[in-house]
Amino acid sequence: MTGRLRRAGAGIDTRLYFITDTAQCAHAGRTVAETAAAAVRGGAGIVQVRDKTADDGAFERLAREVAAALETVAAEHGRRALLVINDRVTVAARLRAEGIDAHLHIGQDDAALSEARALLGDDAVIGVSTGTPAEIRAAEDSGEADLLGIGPVWSTSTKPDAPAGIGVDGLAGLLEHTRLPAFAIGGVDTSGAGEVGALAARSGRPAGICVVSAICLSDDPERAAARLHRAFTAPAGTRDDKEPQP
């Protein structure tokens, strides 16, 4: 992993990366903050707050609620997680100015990496969504990207405009174009987590998996997170569908 990610993520298991979806959490009868806290208790080490429909004010309130929930989990359970803001670089900058350890993830159509780095400073972790060799090279050549989201690996309904899934073989091919920490995203469930975990075991990469609906829509998001984490991390040939006991 890069130096920036090591400093920000010291002592954090970043292999399970949870991305929030406000509508899905509401459908499951929970707030985003409640779902994020449960995901971290289950093993998520990164939580990205994403809501494409909220205005900046509503989004900032949501981010603050999640930040407070993560602080509570850290204090009560000893489980720390990185807080990542999706797209809203000015929100991330305001939170950081107040001492909240917020980081950023941007897509191909969001803020420029150089602009985001200038606003957030050298200690911020900045992730970038990628899906082609050219996008990966651009992120690397910028010198500002700390990690990559690569996908979609499987087709997903979370993002209506997402292209078809590239599969694990496609993921493996894209990983050849980067040495940055990379996270597989798109339609990842427990079975898929195991497939990506097997790829990681063979190649030493990727850094982890990103999930949305597998946790947001679960009846028990803490258990769902534990199962996903176990599926990714268990040695090849020993993976099963059981979560570790607390």
Active-site annotation, residues? 50, 129, 159
Q: Is 110 annotated as ligand-binding?
A: yes
Q: Is 50 annotated as ligand-binding?
A: yes
Longest dimension (CA), the chain: 48
What is the dihedral sign for C-alpha 144, 200, 36, 8? negative
Q: Which residues contact 138 (CB under 8 A, 6 or more apart)?
A: none
Q: At what angle do helices 32-42 and 221-233 cross, to 10 degrees?
A: 40
Q: Is 190 annotated as ligand-binding?
A: no
Tell me the DSSP string of 88-127.
-HHHHHHHHHTT--EEEEE-TTSS-HHHHHHHH-TTS-EE
Q: Which residues contact 166 (CB under 8 A, 6 or more apart)?
A: 131, 151, 152, 153, 174
Q: Is 86 annotated as ligand-binding?
A: yes
Q: Is 242 annotated as ligand-binding?
A: no
Contact criterion met (CB below 8 Å) for 182 and 148: yes
Q: Is 212 annotated as ligand-binding?
A: yes
How far is residue 178's CA from residue 159's CA, in Å, rounded to a whole number? 24
Q: Is 187 annotated as ligand-binding?
A: yes
Q: Is 157 annotated as ligand-binding?
A: yes
How long is the chain?
A: 246
CA nearest neighbour of 242 among 228, 232, 227: 227
Q: Is 132 annotated as ligand-binding?
A: no
Q: Is 159 annotated as ligand-binding?
A: yes
Q: Is 49 annotated as ligand-binding?
A: yes
Q: Is 218 annotated as ligand-binding?
A: no
Q: Is 213 annotated as ligand-binding?
A: yes
CA-based end-to-end distance of the chain? 28
Binding-site entries for Mg(2+): 87, 110
Binding-site entries: 48-52, 86-87, 110, 129, 156-159, 187, 212-213
